[in-house]
Amino acid sequence: MSFQFPIRIYWEDTDAGGIVFYANYLKFMERARTEWLRSLGIGQQALRERSGGMFVVSETQLKYHRPARLDDELLVTAELRQTGAVSATIAQRVLAKNEPTLLLCEGTIRIGWVDTATMRPSRIPADVAGTLERECSSISQPLKP
């Protein structure tokens, strides 16, 4: 089961046509990933202070299926697909909350671990890597469209 985070669409999220501006889906996904990590016991600010490193987005791939509009309620999912020594790939979907089979947007986000002083790639701390590996191994089936 993937992590789900609810989002409501506000006026500031829409464009002149009254639909969600395409780049805002990335913001929604960022919020869901942050809360997903928090649900795993990984608080990013505390982790940065403790380890001197942080996650950064290194790659995104999105596909838009249907628009969301003002006042819509959405569910944004996050599900770990792959983890490595310095990066992880998360599959994400944006669904209509009142009709969770209605797919609005989907994509994958790759996050990489960097040393905050140099902004160079570094190994994910062992405790975080272990948590991510356990999460990855607990996935029993892929996301369905």
Residue 143 within any structural domain of the chain:
no
Residue 22 within any structural domain of the chain:
yes
Residue 63 within any structural domain of the chain:
yes
User: How many residues can be counted in the chain?
Assistant: 145
Task: Give tens-digit pLDDT for 60-117.
Answer: 999 999 999 999 999 999 999 999 999 999 999 999 999 989 999 999 999 999 999 9
Residue 144: predicted pLDDT: 40
Confidence of residue 139 (pLDDT cuts 50, 70, 90): low
If one counts the domains in the chain, the total is: 1
Concerning whether 72 is annotated as a catalytic residue, the answer is no
Tokens representing 127? 């405790």
Provide the whole-model pTM: 0.90
Confidence of residue 48 (pLDDT cuts 50, 70, 90): very high
Domain range holding 102? Answer: 3-137
Residue 144 within any structural domain of the chain:
no
CA distances from 74 to 20, 103, 117, 131, 142 (A): 12, 10, 37, 27, 21
Of 92, 88, 67, 69, the residue nearest 79 (C-alpha): 92
**SS3 for 68?**
coil
Q: Which is the catalytic residue, given 13, 15, 71, 72?
A: 15
